[in-house]
Amino acid sequence: MRIDIITLFPEFFDGLKKHSIVGRAIDNEKVELHTHNLREWAVDSYGTVDDHPYGGGPGMVLKVDVMHAAIKAVKEKVKDFDGKVILLTPQGKVYKQKKALELAKEKNIILICGHYEGFDERIREYVDLEISVGDYVLTGGEIPAMILVDSVSRLLPGVLGDDASSHDESHSEGLLEYPQYTRPAKYDNKGVPEILLSGDHPKIDAWRKEQAIIKTQKRRPDLLKTK
């Protein structure tokens, strides 16, 4: 998968490219991650990418002509582009694991990081999806972009050491993950459930499914209402 990010701060992603799951995915050629500075497509020598909003008001607004030029240019950099252009905005649909699974099937993704007060409304005409990472406001779209890159990359075949890991995680099946334990078997008078020490894998699987439902009912009952 190739992921392109249009941003005012490409250096923000340097650490993401080198560390953890995303860094490993890049090293193993499972993911191509490219960042593009929006100022490259400014139409003046000052690198202007924003302007005051019509009608007045605080802050600055990202310009539609600059952003559209950037989107077209990035698409041209990608051979046979066939994917989604995604605008990261608090006005988008809230990001869920289901959407991460859908995006993991795409060949290409272009992520647009907003900044300043907002963006010219006409930019929406040039994107396929609008995504929000939660009902709160951030300074820019760089952190949401990192969330998408991480959550999608880990779902690609061969990225995790054990591909089953991504299927067992919280939210993958609409439930929170079942309780996990490791050595020591007893600590501070608290022990590991006997079923996990039994070696009976069908019973262990059944216990884990039951515990996942119980945990979800206790901590996130809202998830069960959507199933």
* Calculated CA dihedral for residues 211, 216, 217, 220, nearest 10 degrees: 160
Residue 115: the pLDDT is: 83
Residue 170: the pLDDT is: 58
For residue 17, give every residue at least 6 positions away whose Cβ sits within 8 Å of its Cβ, in sequence order, or none: 23, 26, 33
Residue 117: the pLDDT is: 76
Domains delineated in the chain? 2-153 (3.40.1280.10), 170-225 (1.10.1270.20)
Q: How far is CA 71 from the centre of its chain?
A: 19
Residue 186: the pLDDT is: 96
> For residues 147 and 133, is the Cβ–Cβ distance under 8 A?
yes
What span, in angstroms and rounded, lies between the C-alpha atoms of 8 and 12? 9
What span, in angstroms and rounded, lies between the C-alpha atoms of 149 and 103? 10
- Diameter over CA atoms, the chain: 70
What span, in angstroms and rounded, lies between the C-alpha atoms of 111 and 89? 11
Mean pLDDT of each 10-residue bin along the chain, 227 residues long: 97 94 95 98 95 93 97 96 96 96 97 89 97 94 97 95 60 85 96 97 97 96 82
How far from 10 is each of 19, 37, 118, 129, 141, CA to CA, in Å? 16, 6, 19, 21, 12
Residue 9: the pLDDT is: 96
Residue 173: the pLDDT is: 77
Residue 21: the pLDDT is: 93
User: Coil, strand, or helix at residue 124?
Assistant: helix
The DSSP code for 80 is T
> Is residue 222 within a helix (H) or strand (E), and if so which, with residue range?
helix 221-225
What pTM was estimated for this model as a whole?
0.88
Residue 174: the pLDDT is: 84
Interior/surface letters 164-199, b for 16+ CB within 10 angstroms, e for the rest? eebeeebbbeebbbbeeeeeeeeeeeeeeeeebeee
